[in-house]
Amino acid sequence: TDAVTLASTGGTLGLTGNVTGTLVTLNGATTVTAAQTNTAGSTIFNNAVALNNDVTALNDVTFNGAVTLGVAARAITATNGSIDLNANVLGGQDLTLTANNGTVYATTIGTGTPVAALVIAANAAELGGAIDATSVNTTGVGLTTITNDITITATGAAGILLGALTGANTPTLTANNPG
């Protein structure tokens, strides 16, 4: 399967079925309304995304614009690659990030509107920005590198569960269980 590029110059790209290619590039605001599974390669979202369903790619999944989680728990999976979250991910839904053969790279998650339960399962992770969630669990990560001085905040009873950490930077952990 070849590379595929979809672009919108004024409207929103509405994905209601799979888009498959060695490299799928989406240029323009995008709404994912049906589960997206690219079984042939990587998927890149270059603008804001309303994530109303799950996204899976054989290789890498990259978000270069803000991601707003839709009406239910969401999963982003890179089967044989990495997940790059290069902008804020927000919305009051659970978020599971899985890259068992790759790395999850995240700038900020939950800034403005915290996510619910955040679970990261990957060979490795690099966290470079604030995380605000009901709960945070990185125990499924081989090794998490803290790339900046960051704050991780959890407001629910499950709190913060971190796996192995490395990096010269300091994470500030805040678990605010109101119960």
Q: What is the pLDDT of residue 11?
A: 85
Q: What is the pLDDT of residue 1?
A: 63
Q: What is the pLDDT of residue 10?
A: 81
For residue 129, give Cα distances in angstroms to 10, 23, 33, 64.
30, 27, 28, 15
Query: Can you list the residues of the chain whose pLDDT is less than 50?
Result: none
Q: What is the pLDDT of residue 179?
A: 59
Beta strands 23-27 and 4-7: pairing type?
parallel
Phi-psi region of 28 (alpha: psi -120 to 50; beta: other; left: phi over 0): left
Tokens of 120: 């990261």
Q: What is the pLDDT of residue 178?
A: 61
pTM (predicted TM-score): 0.96
Sign of CA dihedral 145, 66, 132, 15: negative
